[in-house]
Amino acid sequence: MTVCTGNICRSPMAEVVLRDRLEAAGLGDVVAVDSTGVSDEEQGNPMDRRARGVLTEHGYAAPHHSARRVTKSQLQERDLVLAMTSAHAARLRRLRPTAPIRMYRSFDPTAPEVGVRDEHLLDIDDPWYGGYEDFQTVLRQLEAGADGVIAHVRAALARV
């Protein structure tokens, strides 16, 4: 599960990118990917039009999306929860301390290796208040970490 604030920009973009990469890796039928937000302010809203536009421009299929807020039970059910920012990770850990929460960018080989105190260095900034280029930046960050996520998932499946 990918998680951002309102579940209309970063986390649904990450969901689309990961789904695409899992399909290409032959894991599309084995691994489920979804997304949520830590807030209910966008509940039921579609993906931001700029996020959808950037995805489509880069060849991704952007399916229908309806924003939803993360629940404690979802955190219990997921094998991996990917937070977009350290603030999201902190809120998720308060909701379910034992959930398998990681920063999405921790899978980017070019990102710095940091401890929990410095997780903010791995934040994927919210493009909501920015322009189209900010959404392009988010997509580049998501793509940079996607192969690392897939490798992690493949290794986890091999242990099962």
pLDDT tens-digit map of 75-97: 999 999 999 999 999 999 999 99
Contacts of 105 (CB under 8 A, 6+ apart): 111, 122, 123, 124, 141, 144, 145
Active site residue 9: no
Domains held by the chain: number: 1
Q: Which of 9, 10, 21, 123 is catalytic?
A: 10
According to the model, what pLDDT value does residue 101 have?
98
Structural domain range at position 110: 2-159
pLDDT of residue 160: 81
Q: Is 40 among the catalytic positions? A: no
Q: Reply yes or no on whether the pLDDT at 32 is more than 90.
A: yes
Q: Is 96 a catalytic residue?
A: no
Which of 126, 134, 147, 154 is catalytic? The answer is 126
The label of the residue with tokens 């034992």 reads 98
CATH number at residue 133: 3.40.50.2300
Residue 19: its pLDDT value, please? 98
